[in-house]
Amino acid sequence: MQVVITAVGPDNKGLADPIVHYVTGVGANIHEIQMYDRDDEHLFAMLLRIEIGEHEAPIAKLRSALTQIGGVKGLSIRVWSRDETGEPPRIAICTTYRPEPAAAVLAAIRSGDLKATPAVVIGNRKACAPVAREFDVPFEFIGDGKGNPLPGRLDELIDQHNVDYVALARYMRVLSPRTCWQFAGGRIINLHHGLLPPYPGFRPYTDAYAHNMLAYGATAHFIIPELDAGNQIINQSTFSVAPGTPLDEVRRHGETVNEPECLVEGLRRVIDREVELHFQRVITTKPL
């Protein structure tokens, strides 16, 4: 069984040793270990990807023991395995204004094209609450009225709903480094409404149009703390337009057709285990 362990908390000495010592002591093989030290926030973060066999400690015992270590060391420790329950993965869909990507994901789950369970729709705006109601999925509003997410609320809901993967479906807020690290290891998938790496940021349609592009696209990628980084791409989809096509028409087609299709296919590749994120790079686990 593959298990991802993340530990996040105030920076200090001797934080990694007891975690590594415990997992190796119960017979786990460490396949990946990464540590981060964000000096400006005095924040320590670590990711471990391990493999435990049938005769090693059960994941519940592993989680209990590491939680105790976290309590002593002042760390928030999460222990996650896709294989823990044997059930389809649970998906949280994060939204702001655009309803089409979230609706496309929920429709694909309902049709069976995505073999997952929709756990919750989360919005920093309420625009997508009707989409959640249409598909009978809980909606959680985490905004302060101005679109600013309430600190820590997203993390709480991911834990509360036992979420395996988080889909940022045109969620127009940058996640905090703490959130990225707490759910690291390929658990957060973002839909970016432009092609990466040439068009990052918040205005990719406008930027591409300014360069007289005749092909536009969207990118589904794993989230790491670096915004719109380059080696985490899961899926990209493009569409061509005729010379002179107005920007509004380009944007309309991209937002209503291309972006939703890109996110659904990206999620399918993750859910079907065609790709995973190892050492901040996408690896192919079976032929696409």
Q: Report whether 48 contacts 184 (CB < 8 A).
A: no
pLDDT of residue 227: 55
Closest CA to 32 of 49, 16, 18, 17: 49
* 259-287 per-position pLDDT tens digit: 999 999 999 999 999 999 999 899 998 75
pLDDT band at 134 (very low <50, low <70, confident <90, very high): very high
Domain spans of the chain, in order of start = 2-80, 90-284
pLDDT of residue 287: 57
Q: Do domains 2-80 and 90-284 have the same CATH topology?
A: no
CA dist., res. 89 & res. 86, Å (int): 9
* 193-230 per-position pLDDT tens digit: 999 999 998 999 999 999 999 999 999 999 987 655 55
- Fold adopted by 2-80: Alpha-Beta Plaits (3.30.70)
CA dist., res. 277 & res. 59, Å (int): 21
In this structure, what token pair is assigned to residue 139? 């909606």
CA dist., res. 9 & res. 83, Å (int): 27
What DSSP line would sit under 33-61, residue for residue?
Answer: EEEEEEGGGTEEEEEEEEE--TTS--HHH
Q: What does DSSP say about strands 275-278 and 233-240: parallel, antiparallel, or unpaired?
A: unpaired
Q: Rounded to 10 degrees, what is the CA torsion of 41, 44, 49, 52?
A: -140
Write the single-letter amino acid at 281. R
- For the domain with range 90-284, which CATH number is right: 3.30.450.90, 1.20.58.1610, 3.40.50.170, 3.30.390.30? 3.40.50.170
Cross-strand bridge partners of residue 95: 123
- The 8-class DSSP code of residue 149 comes to B
Say what percent of the chain tops pLDDT 90. Answer: 85
pLDDT of residue 276: 96
